[in-house]
Structure 1
Amino acid sequence: MRKANAGNIPATRASGFGDGYESIEERRAAGKALRDATPRAAHGGWKAPDKRRDPIDLLRESNKGRIPQLIPVRFGRMAQSPFAFYRGSAALMAADLASTPATGVRVQACGDAHLMNFGGFATPERNIFFDINDFDETLPAPWEWDVKRLAASMVIAARHLGLPESAAARAATDCVCSYRERMTDYASMRTLDVWYDRIDLDRVLKVMPTKQEMERVTQRVEQARRKSLPESLFPRLVEHSGSAPKIKDEPPLIFHPTDKQAPGVASGYADALERYRKSLPEHVRTLFDRFHFFDLAIKVVGVGSVGTYCALGLFMAADDDPIFLQIKEARKSVLEPYAGKSLHLNEGERVVAGQRLMQSASDIFLGWTRGENGRDYYFRQLRDAKISVILEDWDAAILREYGKLCAWALGRAHARSGDAAKIAGYMGSKTTFDTAVCEFAVEYADQNLQDYRAFISAIRDGRLPAASEM
């Protein structure tokens, strides 16, 4: 019997194996046909809907269930700049994106694809990959939403750096162009080749604009490797109380929870940890069983996550053999009101499943649980050579190259879960889509600035609490 492949399976069959099969050319054509209902130029520009929700009301709603004393810290971080506000207000943009044109093609979306949610990390094989690194809001949703949030972040970041408006627009356009061109490449690749594709350190270095920037990236990687070593982390995060190691309190950012904040402390969170253990693959479970739980403390992280129940867990296999696991509360995705409910009953499982689907390689300790307080959580290693960008000293060239790198990672992630040929067919080979989304990004950056000013006014009027961390 002759083997079938993409080149010789008929496009249609009367019945049996292959029902529903469409060739790459047919899927591209189907994507192109979507332009009739949703022209590419329709993605251009932004105008707030007449019944747009008050951003202050949405921010208040997003505080529901957060630790009350950390809400001022959250708003204090968001108040630092329009860019910090953008990072912490994914719920606002999710509501706005729901009113914009979409083709109807869905992918596993990141949900918060701004440029600071991309970066480097160590794989289980100890290689350094570049990829999306935040999946708290992941959910199946229109692919355009991620692209637009990323493009708008490029404009807002450029303004944060004091770059000219022309540089901001070019950075956004180059970013979208990179997404379109990478998606075209993925549309032509074999399915397994898309799945196995990686953006490793060598590929990152090749796109750096200067030798100096290549050297700086290499230095950052080595620095991140050193900082994630146990001999570096352990003395900075741990003190000894009697003979037992204990995580150091550094309020308000690191502190041990009360029984009310974290039910289960008396039992060492035995039930929640057992549920986490069962979420791990069998071979990782065997590894995890070598470690014993010693301590847990709430640890404030990020901007958008401030006030949620995020913690740091200390586990030991021997006196000189620790691991730190970051335990993050998983709430409902900000996309859910507009894209539909998650199929997962546990929000931590939603995050883990989305991360494994979108990322080229994921942390071996990635797993989920439900606490005795009814909240859902997911686990991952703390740091593990995680490399986040330092935006402040960038020029226009570095911003553009980094944006293209983020768009590459986003395109690869979308191609794993979505129909790359259909998306590529819709965008086409011309710059029509790039120009439209750039126009949207510039005008949405203006909306973000307007919302930020309203946010600052609400803080000054005492309608929203904000506090410095000092």
Structure 2
Amino acid sequence: MNTPATRAERGRTARKRVPRSAHAVWIPSVDRPDPVAVLERQGRDRLPELLPIRYGRMSASPFAFLRGAAAVMAADLAAQPHTGLTVQLCGDAHLLNFGLYASPERSLLFDINDFDETFPGPFEWDVKRLAASVAMAARENGHGEAKAHRAAGEAVTAYRTAMRRLARMGELEVWYASADADSLLPLVRSARQRRHGASSLTRARRRTSIQALGKLTEVVDGRRRIVHDPPLLEPAGASDMASLRKIFSDYRSTLSEERRLLLDRYRFVDAARKVVGVGSVGLRCFIVLLEGRDVDDPLFLQIKEARESVLEEHLPHGPYVHPGRRVVVGQRLLQAAGDIFLGWMSGPQGRAFYWRRLRDMKGSADVAGMPPADLRAYARLCGTTLARAHARSGDRIAIAAYLGTADTFDQSVADFALTYAAQTTTDHATLSAAIAAGVVTAAPGE
């Protein structure tokens, strides 16, 4: 019988395969792929005119490189032994892929907010990517190695303690757990931090379709149109527009009946190609302006190309063949509350896409320049949030038993994070050298 006791024993047994202290080790193998070659391979079949923007954004700093190099880190993690304790991974759980967004009930929540690489895999891969990003941010903020190690360790400690707490909870209690944004302010200690936290919440609440209407559109010949800001935002051409109208209808069919009824109350007004993110640059991404009751009732949706997750070549086959469906199901599994307009479909040439709402009270932390105490607090928040997300799909009791009550896992992953941050700095230098040598071309991408 799969009792809590047998599940806990499964977690403790996993320590024999991979002792908790083994997570401290990062030694690149002699046949480790060249990081620039990994990025170039990823760039195949992306929009070639946008790839220089991707390299430009990644070359800005080692942390920016880490953000865009999920494929590089996936290969590195796959070269190490893993626990076999599977969860639905975010796949790209760095610090800036957590943030604020609105629930369907219009509450402001804090959660993971990027799922392009989501895939079932060993829980520690997400934890290590989060810890490495914390260490990288601390190094770039000039905190020094000891403080970087402490910040990374606190993210992992928060994950471990949250997972152990979740292991004692009932199934529905875990499923409904969430982090309401207003409840986060007491976690911020100083008056200055409280003001900063409050202003972040205020900014997020203002990021709505109404705000986007003023920023992203203009009136041309009496008609509302998305602005032209090449190469980052360009109106869709005639052929793209025809395709988008067709796939809009196909996307509608993946929504539940009541959401299809709601969507039918809007009409298609305009669309544009938009460059987003760092690692995603070059993928086909569009925004669509819809109009409801009148011109003052807009809805912006984002359509983004979905590819095979960077994790897939390193793990057993997942349950979903369609990459867009993989992203949508992964998001629904990991987030405490989902986007009601989330859906997927196939477009021209069989390309997979997923749809979601754009700018629904979304916001993220300004990690650059955070002092040590602020970064540690934010790292703890992200670690706690990641544990809650993993507990929804994985065996939280087994994972909690594997982690245990001591800080062995925490300190080991913090050691890894520091070593991997140094590796990322070296990889960033490799990209910079490739740009200088003309192997790849970089362009400003702000």
TM-score after normalising by structure 1: 0.92
- State the match for 1:409 in structure 2: 385
Which amino acid in the other structure matches residue 106 of structure 1? Answer: T
Looking at structure 2, the residues matched to 269 and 469 of structure 1 have their Cα atoms a distance apart, in angstroms, of 25
Q: In the alignment, which residue of structure 2 is the partner of 1:207?
A: 187
User: Would you say 1:397 and 2:373 are equivalent positions?
Assistant: yes
Query: Any stretches of 5+ residues in structure 1 without a counterpart?
Result: 1-20
Determine the C-alpha separation between the residues in 2 that align with 1:323 and 1:408: 32
The separation in 1 between residues aligned to 2:443 and 2:230, in whole angstroms, is: 13
Residue of structure 2 aligned with 1:321, choices 287, 297, 300:
297
CA contact 2:207–2:362 (8 Å) conserved in 1:
no
2:107 to 127, 134, 138: 127
How far does residue 129 in structure 1 lie from its aligned partner after superposition?
A: 0.6
Which residue of structure 2 lines up, in the alignment, with residue 371 of structure 1? 347
Q: Which residue of 2 aligns with 1:30?
A: 10
Name the counterpart of 2:96: 116
How far apart in 1 are the matches of 2:306 and 2:317? 14
The letter of the residue matching 1:84 is: A
SS of the residue corresponding to residue 458 of structure 1 reads: helix
Q: Offset at 1:187?
A: 0.5
Equivalent residue runs for 1:31-430 within 5 Å: 31-230=11-210, 232-258=211-237, 263-265=239-241, 267=242, 269-317=244-292, 318-430=294-406
**Mapped partners of 1:394, 1:358: distance in 2:** 27
* Distance apart, 1:316 and its partner CA: 0.8
**Any gaps of 5 or more consecutive residues in structure 2?**
none
Aligned partners of 2:291 and 2:299 also within 8 Å: yes
Which amino acid letter does the alignment assign opposite residue 313 of structure 1?
V
Letter in 1 for 2:217: V
Superposed displacement of residue 469, structure 1: 3.6
* 1:258 CA drift (Å): 4.0
CA shift digits 1:364-406 (9 cap, x unpaired): 1111121123211111111111011112231000101101100
User: What amino acid is aligned across from residue 246 of structure 1 in structure 2?
Assistant: R
Distance 1:290 1:110 in 2: 33
The offset of 1:264, in angstroms, is 5.0
Secondary structure at the aligned position of 1:236 is classed as: helix
The answer on whether the counterparts of 1:209 and 1:401 sit within 8 Å (CA) in structure 2 is no
1:461 to 427, 437, 442: 437
Q: Pick closer, same or farther for the CA change 1:439–1:251 going to 2, 3 Å.
A: same
- Equivalent pair of 2:137/2:368 in contact (CA under 8 Å): no
In the aligned structure 1, how far is the partner of 2:114 from the partner of 2:11?
Answer: 29
* 1:215 positional shift: 2.5
**Aligned mates of 1:380, 1:210 — CA distance in 2:** 36
Q: SS of the residue aligned with 1:131?
A: strand
Shift of residue 243 of structure 1? 3.4
CA distance in 2, matches of 1:307, 1:197: 36
Whether 1:439 and 2:432 are equivalent positions in the alignment is no
In 2, the alpha carbon distance for the partners of 1:373 and 1:424 equals 45
Contact 1:209 1:397 in 2 (8 A): no
Cα deviation for residue 268 of structure 1 reads: 6.1
Identity %: 45
- Counterparts of 1:270 and 1:133 in 2: how far apart (Å)? 27
Deviation per CA, 1:323-343: give whole Å up to 9, x if none.
Answer: 111111111100000013332
On the 8 A contact 1:264/1:372 being kept in 2, the answer is no
What SS does the corresponding residue of 2:414 show, helix, strand or coil? Answer: helix
Distance in 2 of aligned mates of 1:35 and 1:337: 25
Instruction: Name the aligned partner's letter for residue 108 of structure 1.
Output: Q
Deviation (angstroms), 1:23: 2.0
- Could you say what secondary structure the match of 2:427 adopts? helix
Provide the secondary structure at the position in 2 that maps to 1:104.
coil
Runs of 4+ in 1 over 6 A off after TM superposition: none
Q: Equivalents in 2 of 1:291, 1:245: separation in Å?
A: 15
Question: Conserved in 1, the CA contact under 8 Å of 2:243 and 2:347?
Answer: no
Q: Which amino acid aligns with 2:283?
A: T
Letter of the structure 1 residue corresponding to residue 285 of structure 2: C
User: Which of 425, 429, 434 is 1:449 aligned to?
Assistant: 425
Where 1:392 maps in the other structure, the secondary structure is coil
Give the whole-Å Cα distance in 2 for the aligned partners of 1:58 and 1:129. 35
Bigger radius of gyration among the two: 1
Secondary structure of 1:108's match?
strand
User: C-alpha separation between the residues in 1 aligned to 2:78 and 2:276?
Assistant: 28
Cα distance in structure 2, aligned partners of 1:202 and 1:34: 38
Check whether the contact 1:427–1:433 (CA below 8 A) recurs between aligned residues. yes
Cα RMSD (Å): 1.3
